Amino acid sequence: MRKERRAGWARWGTPEHAKPLPEAVAGLLKQVFEVTPPVAPVAPEAVAVPVSPLSDLALAALAEVVGAEHVSTEIAERAVHATGKSTPDLFHQRSGELPALPSAVVAPADHDQVLALLATCVDHGLAVVPFGGGTSVVGGLTPQLGKPAPHPIGTPATCGTATGQAAVGAYISLDLRRLDRLVAVDPVSRTAVLQAGLPAPRADALLAEHGFTLGHVPQSYEYATIGGFAATRSSGQASAGYGRFDDMVVGMTVATPRGTIATGRAPASSAGPDLRRLFLGSEGAFGVITDVTVRVRPLAAERRYEGWRFASFADGAAAARRLAQDGPRPTVLRLSDEVETMLGATGRGRGDGGCLMVVGHEGASVGHAAAQTAAVLRECGGQELGTEPGEQWAAHRFDAPYLRDALIDAGAFAETLETAAFWSALPGLYEAVREALFAALSVPSMVLCHVSHVYETGASLYFTVVTAYADEPVARWQRAKAAASDAIIAAGGTISHHHGVGTEHRDWFAQEVGPLGVDVLRAVKRELDPAGVLNPGILVEP
Ligand SMILES: Cc1cc2nc3c(=O)[nH]c(=O)nc-3n(C[C@H](O)[C@H](O)[C@H](O)COP(=O)(O)OP(=O)(O)OC[C@H]3O[C@@H](n4cnc5c(N)ncnc54)[C@H](O)[C@@H]3O)c2cc1C
């Protein structure tokens, strides 16, 4: 099976891309926490493997669809497809004790092979987990399977139940990496059709040959894929200017066990409910997205990123709201709270105080827009710091997950969570999440936050938690995350602004949409996936 650049094992990046902690931050860590470097990770070849090989019959059937060279039962290959990249995932990888393990990794070449694979999996009682870049942080790649099959896994069987839920004991990871083409560009309409397995940098490189960009730059940019973005309703760092990924999608082709659905005939339509919206955020539970038609923008000729300082998080948030509601709207707009600003400044060897806002403009010519934005920010009490802090942010925009690796190596536990709410609810939400985290963690901890995405009516809050390693760090984090999630729902926030639901947010998502909402989603799943083979337990309870 062809292997391509992908995220590291038991860490985000590969060792050659490691980033050391700034000395000042490492010093701070030693002062605040009792840091105990963890033991070296178990190799992926050495993970604990349940005794459940696929039957020869099932393996042969999978190979018949995609070719034997595109079906892997190697332990290391299965292990790297078993989880995403949350910190608990990294700890599972380190220990070699994975919560689930696919019986095979299967890489189809095109939409028809995906359809045929789904049919084969239904026939053989195998669940199917679509795998894009493998960067899920909400348990989206770790299905919850039904009762194990009594006979060798993959013996022809009916695996579904009347509720469309799987009663299967094994699953395959359906790796979309071979669906990696730019299918078409329409420069007149400014749209492009991208296959789902294209990693974001490759998609941008292909679009750049035509003078276009997607403008979607999440922090997981290096590894995440086009299909993954659509399946999770991702949001990138330049969402203020380019919009969320949902805003960019004008159409999709989806393979389901019942056949193909193609959505998006026109830029806008009043022909009934929008089926695109049904599949955006469906996280592989309703079908496998095989290509996505996106709106593209001309490559930016100019970019300018600046830093602004505000006296407090509240003052900075008021300025961000003013820009989001009354304009002008920059391309990038981020605001760190006092703690995040302080730690960022410590890393750069400065102690500036207040709250840092990063404001970026991208486009054909940005001077006029930047000047207009600056006038508003000055009126709102902002202090201009020039382009240096903005350029620093841009140069290090993908560093955080590498620093998480360094923190774990140094013996600290670091993880993030995110939410969004209307502007009026935001201050209460911010306080409630911080309080819940500190109360539940009950060991020395730091909680950092920034506003990462703004809308006319509200914004998202992105929290980073760094906490002492101590005993059972994963279990303590899960308790803290549950407390923060309860606080989010109570304070009027959404359980996820851009990470999605997976298994981790499922219970709070059910509270958000209510029992009838869950029933509607179950009904859709039952219709599209009567045997319940697709991503069991992700999005809705099996
Ligand atoms: C360090 C780090 C930083 C991150 N930063 C951001 C950020 O800035 N913004 C953001 O939005 N997210 C972020 N994420 C979350 C994650 O990157 C996104 O959820 C991303 O959209 C997932 O894409 P992927 O290709 O890796 O999908 P995967 O992780 O492979 O899959 C995610 C889910 O979608 C399903 N899926 C994948 N491909 C398909 C398909 N073709 N059809 C149907 N279902 C599919 C999977 O089964 C799974 O349930 C971050 C994650 C990490 C680890």
Q: Give the lowest-confidence range in 99-103, 322-326, 358-362, 501-505.
A: 99-103
Q: How far is the CA of 351 from the centre of ligand 1 (A)?
A: 35
- Ligand 1 within 6 A of CB of 283: yes
Judge whether residue 14 has pLDDT over 90.
no
> Ligand 1: which of 12, 121, 135 to mutate, most ligand atoms within 8 Å of CB?
135
- Ligand 1 within 6 A of CB of 401: yes
Residue nearest to atom 1 of ligand 1 (CA): 401
367-379 and 313-326 helices, crossing angle to 10°? 130
- State the closest ligand 1 atom to the C-alpha of 225, by its place in the atom list counted from 1: 25
- Ligand 1 within 6 A of CB of 122: no
> Ligand 1: which of 136, 137, 247, 402 to mutate, most ligand atoms within 8 Å of CB?
136
pLDDT for position 36:
67
Q: How far is the CA of 373 from the centre of ligand 1 (A)?
A: 32
Q: What is the mean predicted confidence (pLDDT) over 316-337?
A: 98
Tokens representing 285 are 């539970």
- Ligand 1 within 6 A of CB of 344: no
Q: Give the lowest-confidence range in 135-149, 303-317, 358-372, 384-398.
A: 135-149
Residue nearest to atom 47 of ligand 1 (CA): 130
- State the closest ligand 1 atom to the C-alpha of 535, by its place in the atom list counted from 1: 47
pLDDT for position 28:
73
Judge whether residue 87 has pLDDT over 90.
yes
- Ligand 1 within 6 A of CB of 130: yes
- Ligand 1 within 6 A of CB of 134: yes
Residue-wise pLDDT tens digits, 265-277: 999 999 999 999 9
Q: How far is the CA of 226 from the centre of ligand 1 (A)?
A: 9
Q: What is the mean predicted confidence (pLDDT) over 309-316?
A: 98
Q: How far is the CA of 277 from the centre of ligand 1 (A)?
A: 17
pLDDT for position 158:
37
- Ligand 1 within 6 A of CB of 133: yes
Q: What is the mean predicted confidence (pLDDT) over 350-370?
A: 91
**Quick check: 360 and 332 in contact, CB under 8 A?**
yes
- Ligand 1 within 6 A of CB of 538: yes
Q: How far is the CA of 377 from the centre of ligand 1 (A)?
A: 34
Where in 51-207 does DSSP place strands (E)? 71-72, 104-106, 127-131, 171-175, 182-186, 191-195
Tokens representing 306 are 């600046």
pLDDT for position 348:
60
- Ligand 1 within 6 A of CB of 537: no
- Ligand 1 within 6 A of CB of 253: no
Q: What is the mean predicted confidence (pLDDT) over 401-419?
A: 93
pLDDT for position 346:
64
Q: How far is the CA of 115 from the centre of ligand 1 (A)?
A: 22
pLDDT for position 219:
97
Bigger pLDDT: 531 vs 468: 531
Residue-wise pLDDT tens digits, 114-159: 999 999 999 999 999 999 999 999 999 999 986 544 434 444 433 3
Q: What is the mean predicted confidence (pLDDT) over 521-529?
A: 97
Q: Which range has highest mean pLDDT (21-30, 95-104, 141-150, 479-488)? A: 479-488
pLDDT for position 508:
98
426-441 and 473-490 helices, crossing angle to 10°? 150
- Ligand 1 within 6 A of CB of 44: no
Average pLDDT of the chain to the nearest whole number: 91
Quickly state the pLDDT bin for 35 (edges 50, 70, 90). Answer: low
- Residue of 190, 225, 197, 186 whose CA lies nearest to 295: 190
- Ligand 1 within 6 A of CB of 84: yes
Q: How far is the CA of 362 from the centre of ligand 1 (A)?
A: 25
pLDDT for position 52:
60
**Quick check: 296 and 191 in contact, CB under 8 A?**
yes
Residue-wise pLDDT tens digits, 207-245: 999 999 999 999 999 999 999 999 999 999 999 999 999
- Ligand 1 within 6 A of CB of 289: yes
> Ligand 1: which of 87, 220, 501 to mutate, most ligand atoms within 8 Å of CB?
220
CA dihedral 231, 235, 236, 241 (to 10 degrees): 130
- Residue of 211, 214, 268, 279 whose CA lies nearest to 525: 279
- Residue of 234, 176, 172, 142 whose CA lies nearest to 6: 176
Residue nearest to atom 22 of ligand 1 (CA): 228
Q: How many CB atoms lie within 10 A of CB 246?
A: 16
Bigger pLDDT: 2 vs 34: 34
Residues 6+ away with beta carbon under 8 Å from 532? 127, 146, 159, 160, 161, 163, 164, 165, 166, 167, 168, 525, 526, 542
- Rg, C-alpha atoms of the chain: 23
Residue-wise pLDDT tens digits, 491-522: 999 999 999 999 999 999 999 999 999 999 99
Residue-wise pLDDT tens digits, 420-447: 999 999 999 999 999 999 999 988 899 9
Judge whether residue 38 has pLDDT over 90.
no
- Ligand 1 within 6 A of CB of 85: yes
Q: How far is the CA of 312 from the centre of ligand 1 (A)?
A: 33
Q: How far is the CA of 173 from the centre of ligand 1 (A)?
A: 15
- State the closest ligand 1 atom to the C-alpha of 500, by its place in the atom list counted from 1: 19
At CB < 8 A and 24+ separation, what contacts does 145-149 make? 145/100, 145/169, 145/170, 145/171, 145/536, 145/537, 146/532, 146/536, 146/542, 148/52, 149/125
Q: What is the DSSP letter of 12?
A: S
- Residue of 321, 395, 418, 306 whose CA lies nearest to 357: 306
Quickly state the pLDDT bin for 109 (edges 50, 70, 90). Answer: very high
Strands 171-175 and 104-106 turn out to be: parallel
Quickly state the pLDDT bin for 34 (edges 50, 70, 90). Answer: low
Residue-wise pLDDT tens digits, 162-211: 333 344 579 999 999 999 999 999 999 999 999 999 999 999 999 999 99
Judge whether residue 411 has pLDDT over 90.
no
